[in-house]
Amino acid sequence: MQLTIITDLNKCVGCKSCQVSCKEHNTSGAFGPVPDHTPYQDPDGMWWNRILTMESGEYPNTSVLYLPKACMHCYDAPCVPVCPTGASFKREDNGVVLVDYDSCIGCQLCMWACPYGVREFDEEAGVVKKCTLCIDRIEDETLPEHERQPACVQSCPTHARTFGDLDDPNSEVSRLVAERQGFGLLPELGARPSVHYLPRRPAPSPLDTETLETAMEERY
């Protein structure tokens, strides 16, 4: 099993609700706080999920892209083998990459090894922190089943983010990646990220087979 999040870049509007809900949930949850040094003067604190805004192309042919970026929970997570204490580990049962704060020495080598720059150093605690895929939520059996998903997925107003098991070929996330040419970032570095993005391109026809056959019969 490899739990992951798929983000549809066609639907993301850059509202940052996922960024804020991540910070709110994790600061108040089992893995918090996600610290800030001077939160009222300078918002440059720790965020496990950051939304990048990019503009590409030359005027007048320009385009703006919003890219939510958090831990990619890579299949071959480069942050795991470099850790000298075993504090960085990948769970065998669901593929989530986590940090054990009690055995992290704060050497930050995992931050160098991570190709995506999504690990953050907490100077006060002296440990490295990162997205946990809201493991405390998704394994909390006291929550209703539809709420057992990461805070960023649940808060997305456009439903751009989908949570599921990428190793299950019948899951929604696997279907989206297969049908919509989902891609991972920086594939050339060989980390095999499980988090995928759906490219901004015209979506395939939403018609199912039956509707399509009916339409074809009517036309021809």
Residue nearer to other proteins on the CB measure, 32 or 187 = 187
DSSP 183: B
Distance CA 30, CA 53 (A): 30
CB of 204 to other proteins, least distance (A): 18
Residue nearer to other proteins on the CB measure, 1 or 82 = 82
Nearest to 98 by CA among 56, 55, 129, 75: 129
Distance CA 194, CA 74 (A): 5
Q: What is the largest CA-CA distance in the chain?
A: 70
Residue nearer to other proteins on the CB measure, 139 or 201 = 201
**Chain positions contacting other proteins, by CB under 8 A:** 9, 19, 37, 43-47, 50-58, 64-65, 67, 69, 78, 81-87, 101-109, 111-123, 125-127, 183, 185-190, 197, 199
Within 59-96, strands assigned E span 61-69, 88-90
Residue nearer to other proteins on the CB measure, 92 or 188 = 188
CB of 135 to other proteins, least distance (A): 21
